[in-house]
Chain A
Amino acid sequence: MGKEDVSAKKRRKINTSSSSDTSKPVPVDIYKRVVEFEESEAQLRPAEKDATLFKKICQDIRHLFAEISELKTKDTDEAREKINAKRIEASLNLVALKKLNRLEKVRTRAGRDALHKEKQRVDSTHLLLQNLLYEADHLNKEVTKCLQFKSKDEEIELVSLEDFFANAPAEISRPDLTKTDEHQLQLARLEWELRQRRELSAACNELISSKERVAAAIAAARSRLDALVPHLRDVLKSTKPLQECLALRLDDKRDEARAASLLPSPLFLLFANTSAYSDALGSNSVAVSISGDEDEARRLEQLNNVDSDLVASNDSDSDQENNEDDQREKKKRHHRNAKISKEEKAEAKKKEVLKKHPLNVQVSVKVQDGTALNLIFSYLLHLKIVVVKFTVSLPKPITGVSAADVLNGHCILNELYPGDTGCDSPHPATSYLLNAAGISEDFQYFISELGKPYIWAQRMCGLDFMATITEDQKINKNNNLCPSLSVSTVENFILTLKKRLKSRVELMKELQDLESGKILPVKGDFPCPIRLSGSLTQWQSVGWPEYSQSPSTSFLIAEGLVNPNDLLYRAIITRQSAKLVALVALRSDYPRKAPMFSLTLHWNGTHHAGINDDIRDIERFINTDLGSEDKKQHTLSVQITKLLTCLDILLETTGSSEFPPDKVMFCPVRGRNRLKPYKFLKQGNGVFVQY
């Protein structure tokens, strides 16, 4: 198409407004000019108007088509004419459409370009923002790093502010400056600190050197003393012949004293007090000696000294010592043999805990007839208690089984003081110590091998455990040694023990007689009837199981009057077909406490106090002091004599022909309880009455 066409069209289309542009002469490339023109036109023309124009033209074309088709149906010349006209008109319209389309295309491209440009701009701005943010972050980090910086001076402990201002000289403290400036204050304090430390270090050095000087002086003195020992020994040796000549026992005494100095302090206290007592009373009634391995004791003492140097604290803290020992032991074992079996370890540990001091004190107490009791006191180093073993030596052998028991075995020291059975450790800490050493057994388990920890033994050694001692007024808070306690206890104990020994010897003689069926004639004013018809046929000691199983004793046991520690005997008294079994319980402190009888009569059935009032009446008469006010001497014999009398009375009052009455009684039975006359009245030949 020619440009004339285009311009013509344009002219038609944009009638007035653009006619001036097109008419301008174009010197440059026509195509370019057209393009530029079109672009500017597209810019200038509003898009909405073009859109409505486009729609209108489309409408016109449709109308034209419709008219053409109508005319075609007519098929006339006139119509043909018209059709031609119309056809031209429609074509022109199509040209306009084309123009509009072009404009639209140009416009779209321009919009797209603009968008693209805008996008690029946004991108670059965003990049810039990122850069700035990163930089800010980095700067922040640097700031915190700076803030967290630690200076060395913060670790140094400084004197407090008040002290600093009070003590430091003004040229260091510079109060006018430092009072206001925190940093200057810190610097000043540091300076003061440095100067003080320097001074102290100098003083320390000086002291160390003076100490060394003194140590050297001591060593010199010691070596001089050591040189003196052989001389002294020579002197001692040379006095020996003189001592022998004059029969002085100075050396023995000295040996004893040396051994005594090695004793652990509780045993030393015991030894000192008892030997003083024996000096005062003469050695034939109380004798004391020390036995055991002296060298071992010396070694132990040295070890202890080292320990006490190391551990400057008190020695009562036994746990600590134990631990130390344990640790030492462990180390040794590790060196020697890493694989020692567990049992061996436990065994060794047990031995260590239950270790005795190698020295022990022997005390022997004698009574007049030559019977002596040898007590061996040993000290358990770790449990810190004293245990006692003992033997009895007799002037002549004892006949009779039950009599021998009285002096032998455990029972002689049993309950020397009330409640003191020696069956458990009096020290409250013992069980903890045993537990700490990993020993599961109670202390009782070891008593048979170690000896008994009687409370009196602890007190004789000045050990006082408040938990178990109630009668003592002054209670010591810890188990410090109490010498006055030992003094008073030693005397008390020896007297008590002598009394006990004496009464046991007497009891032994009495039992010897009883066992052979003899009953000692009763001395004193106890009224004795002329003839006793029953006889003691057996006297035997019995064990607790047999005693406690008898129905007759259940009452005494239930009342807590008899316990397994008592001496238990069975006496059998017979008269014709009647047999009376008496179970007798002697308390440990017999004859202070009277023996207790529980009776079973086998005659016409079995009778005991639980089911028969007559037996109960006899028991009442014998066991309580209803029947007599006599002296305490020979209580056992007195009671058995009484028992024989009562049995006679009971049997004779039954009216059985087997037992003819030969005792004088006012009335054989009296009262609703049908009481028999057990009480003897000295009237004429003697009468038996109820009350």
Chain B
Amino acid sequence: MLDKILYNTVLSQTLSPCGKYLIAGNIYSQLAVYDLDRILNPVVELLTSDYNKPKHIHTLESGHQICSLASTEKFLIVGTVNEISGWDWKSAVSSKLSKPSWSIRIPSRSSMEQTDVNSLWLSEDESKLYAGCGDNNVYVFHLEDGRLVSTFKGHNNFIHAIDGRHQQLITASEDGCVMLWDTRTSSSHNKLEPHTNSKVSRPDIGKWVGSVALGEDWIVCGGGPRLALWHLRSLDAVTVFDIPDHGIHVSFFYDDSVFAGGAAKHFYQLSYSGEVKVELPVSATTVYSAVLRTNPKVLAIAGSSPEIDLCTTFNYRDQVLHFR
């Protein structure tokens, strides 16, 4: 039997607030901690052959896959199955992972049901945690006491991704809908169905929406349907990006461009008008996670591969990290 780590899949990554550490979580409930300082500014004399391996690999006790990761000033937040846990950063990057500082159970209807915490989003003031879950709901927790503040119900299938801006929250789901929510009233006020739009739909891949991001005036989303830029107020597909992918799983705005990846050989940077600015070749068969930071400037792309690609200029792949 082969080692399962050869078929490793990284579903989520996050960077520590200090920018020194990259955390990646895989489906075998392992957390890899990379010391970016050492990788990006190597001291030549101390360079060893395993410099691109994780500094530590923590295995969670539950054995569930790690579906999502987020970070606040104080905590590393890990979303697995049925549970969201928080570790303070000091213990997260130490060689042995202690018990979590706190954990929140996702309320479920039956004991049999397993709810993946597919996506996490923190409000701007880091007081509330929004979790898009496998039971079609978005739960809002108060980070101070772990109290469930509210539940957003409305999707008919599990939620792939959530994003937000000010008082607005946006969710993308397997059922093919993208919904806009008002966080103050906990109700949906708008709905987008990309698979009904003939310009973007791809029935052979499916109607699911794998990724969504909310900008000032724009929404970018994609999945089974093509990656497209939608106008927030008119909900029109303004630009349909023509890239050779078999499903989008990552998309976000950065610096007047759209960054997107998925089941494709490249990770793309696109202008709003639809031109491809940069194509980054990726190791992963499918990209499930890309995290970006400006100080230090780093972009980490991971997915279904034991390798994680690291770009410091966003223009080409300059390092490959191993998660094995």
Contacts and interface: CB of A to CB of B under 8 A. Distances in A.
A673 B11 contact: yes
A604 interface: yes
B7 A623 contact: yes
A612 B285 contact: yes
A626 interface: yes
A611 B2 contact: no
Contacts of A609: 285
Contacts of A671: 11, 65, 67, 116, 118, 134, 158
B6 A612 contact: no
B174 A596 contact: no
A610 B285 contact: yes
A672 B210 contact: yes
Given A613-B263, A671-B67, A624 B7 contact: yes
A211 interface: no
Contact of A673 (B119, B134, B246, B288): B288
Contacts of B118: 671-672
A199 interface: no
B1 A613 contact: no
Contact of A623 (B1, B161, B249, B286): B1
B160 interface: yes
A561 B2 contact: yes
A611 to B, nearest CB: 6
A612 B119 CA distance: 23
B92 interface: no
Given A613-B304, A616-B285, A691-B65, A624 B160 contact: no
B109 interface: no
B9 interface: yes
Contacts of A596: 2
Contacts of B64: 691
Interface string A611-641: 1110010011001111000000000000000
Contacts of B116: 670-672
Main secondary structure of the interface of B (DSSP, over half): loop
Interface in B196-212: 204, 206, 208, 210
Given A670-B158, A672-B288, A594 B246 contact: no
Contacts, number: 76
A669 interface: yes
B7 A619 contact: yes
Interface string A673-686: 11000000000000
A555 B7 CA distance: 10
* From B7, B161, B208, B265, residue with most partner A Cβ within 10 Å: B7
B304 A673 contact: yes
Given A604-B204, A670-B158, A672-B67, A624 B1 contact: yes
A623 B116 CA distance: 25
Contacts of A610: 285
Interface residues of B, number: 34
B90 interface: no
Contacts of B233: none
A255 interface: no
Nearest to B286: A613
Nearest to B204: A604
B4 A620 contact: yes
Interface string A626-665: 1000000000000000000000000000010000000000
Given A610-B285, A613-B286, A669 B174 contact: yes
B266 to A, nearest CB: 12
A594 B1 contact: yes
Contact of B160 (A613, A623, A625, A672): A672
B1 A625 contact: yes
B158 to A, nearest CB: 7
Q: What is the size category of the interface that chain A forms with chain B?
A: 20 to 34
B310 interface: no
A561 B65 CA distance: 26
Contacts of B65: 671, 691
B204 to A, nearest CB: 6
A672 B4 contact: no
A559 interface: yes
B288 A559 contact: no
Contacts of A620: 4, 7
Contacts of B70: none
Contact of A611 (B9, B67, B263): B263
Contacts of B158: 667, 670-671
A101 B65 CA distance: 152
Interface string A154-165: 000000000000
B285 A611 contact: yes
Nearest to B211: A672
A586 to B, nearest CB: 13
B78 to A, nearest CB: 15
A673 B208 contact: no
Interface string A578-605: 0000000000000001101000000010
Interface in B160-191: 160-161, 174
User: B1, B67, B204, B247 — which one has the most chain A CB atoms within 10 A of its CB?
Assistant: B1
A616 B2 contact: no
A591 to B, nearest CB: 11
B81 to A, nearest CB: 8
A230 to B, nearest CB: 71
A613 B2 contact: no
Nearest to B116: A671
B24 interface: no
Contacts of A670: 116, 134, 158
Contacts of A655: 206
Contacts of A691: 64-65, 114
Contacts of B204: 604
A557 B202 CA distance: 34
B3 interface: yes
B285 A559 contact: no
Nearest to A607: B246
Nearest to A594: B1
A616 B304 contact: yes
Most buried by A among B2, B9, B67, B286: B2
A555 B1 CA distance: 16
Interface string B203-228: 01010101000000000000000000
Interface in B126-141: 134
A643 to B, nearest CB: 15
A623 B2 contact: yes
B93 interface: no
A691 to B, nearest CB: 7
Contacts of A561: 2
Contacts of A559: 6
A327 B65 CA distance: 76
A358 B121 CA distance: 82
A313 B207 CA distance: 87
Given A610-B285, A619-B7, A673 B2 contact: no
Contacts of A674: 174, 208, 247
Nearest to B132: A672
- A611, A619, A672: residue with the most chain B Cβ atoms closer than 10 Å: A672
B267 to A, nearest CB: 15
B70 to A, nearest CB: 14
B206 to A, nearest CB: 8
A671 B11 CA distance: 9
Nearest to A620: B7
B198 to A, nearest CB: 19
Contacts of B247: 674
Contacts of B134: 670-671
A611 B6 contact: no
Contacts of A624: 1-4, 6-7
Contacts of A673: 9, 11, 27, 286, 288, 304
Given A609-B285, A671-B134, A673-B9, 7 more contacts: A604-B204, A613-B9, A613-B304, A655-B206, A672-B116, A672-B161, A673-B27
Which 7 residue pairs of A and B lie closest in terms of their CB atoms, listed nearest first?
Answer: A620-B7, A624-B4, A625-B1, A613-B286, A623-B2, A594-B1, A613-B304
6 contacts: A594-B2, A613-B263, A619-B7, A672-B116, A672-B288, A691-B114
